[in-house]
């Protein structure tokens, strides 16, 4: 393996959270903002691990909540680096909910975030290249390249 390159496994991050009443709305479902916060934290840890330094959120793609998450259930977030450019990285985060009483696990969301590595003065700095080792990692890399192209097209769209 090239010493400078890092694999997705190198920075893969898993977080587990218990949904408490303070995390919920009046219906006993988790607040969407709480899930977004946890997604951002998991992604930030994966990005910082890959970059070997602080990395900040530049964007988050759309987020859909496929299944509700109730008070008392467990949320598991799995974050990994999908793609790396010069100073930026796409981090994918899959969110699962687990009902401990029923043993039922369902994927509730997927989010894609872009992070930029920064130096001590807050300037973007290069990050290590990504070394994909499996066909799944290669597929995620190429899908992330397409999402990046779409983000750049959207950013440069007039008005």
The reply to whether 2 falls in a domain is no
Nearest to 106 by CA among 151, 147, 159, 65: 65
Number of domains the chain is built from: 1
The reply to whether 142 falls in a domain is yes
The reply to whether 1 falls in a domain is no
Hey, what long-range contacts does 26-35 have (CB within 8 A, 24 or more apart)?
Answer: 28/70, 28/71, 29/68, 29/69, 29/70, 30/68, 30/69, 30/70, 30/71, 30/75, 32/63, 32/65, 35/63, 35/65, 35/69, 35/75, 35/95, 35/108, 35/109
The domain of 39 spans 8-155
In CATH, what number is assigned to the domain containing residue 148? Answer: 3.10.129.10
Dihedral sign from CA coordinates of 131, 137, 143, 148: negative
Q: What is the pLDDT along the chain (159 residues), one digit of tens a residue?
A: 456 899 999 999 999 999 999 999 999 999 999 999 999 999 999 999 999 999 999 999 989 899 999 999 999 999 999 999 999 999 999 999 999 999 999 999 999 999 999 999 999 999 999 999 999 999 999 999 999 998 888 777 666
């Amino acid at each position: 393996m090239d010493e400078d390159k890092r694999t997705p496994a190198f920075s893969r991050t898993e977080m587990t959270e218990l949904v408490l009443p303070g995390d919920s709305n009046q219906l006993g479902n988790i607040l969407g903002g709480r899930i977004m916060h946890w997604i951002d934290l998991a992604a930030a840890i994966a990005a910082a691990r890959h970059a070997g330094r602080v990395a900040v959120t530049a964007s988050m793609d759309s987020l859909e909540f496929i299944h509700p998450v109730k008070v008392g259930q467990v949320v598991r977030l799995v974050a990994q680096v999908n793609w790396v450019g010069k100073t930026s990285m796409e981090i994918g985060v899959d969110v699962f909910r687990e009902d401990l009483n029923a043993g039922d696990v369902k994927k509730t969301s997927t989010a894609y975030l872009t992070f930029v590595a920064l130096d001590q003065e807050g300037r973007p700095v290069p990050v290590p290249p990504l070394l994909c080792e499996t066909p799944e990692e290669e597929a995620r890399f190429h899908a992330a390249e397409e999402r990046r192209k779409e983000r750049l097209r959207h950013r440069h769209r007039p008005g």
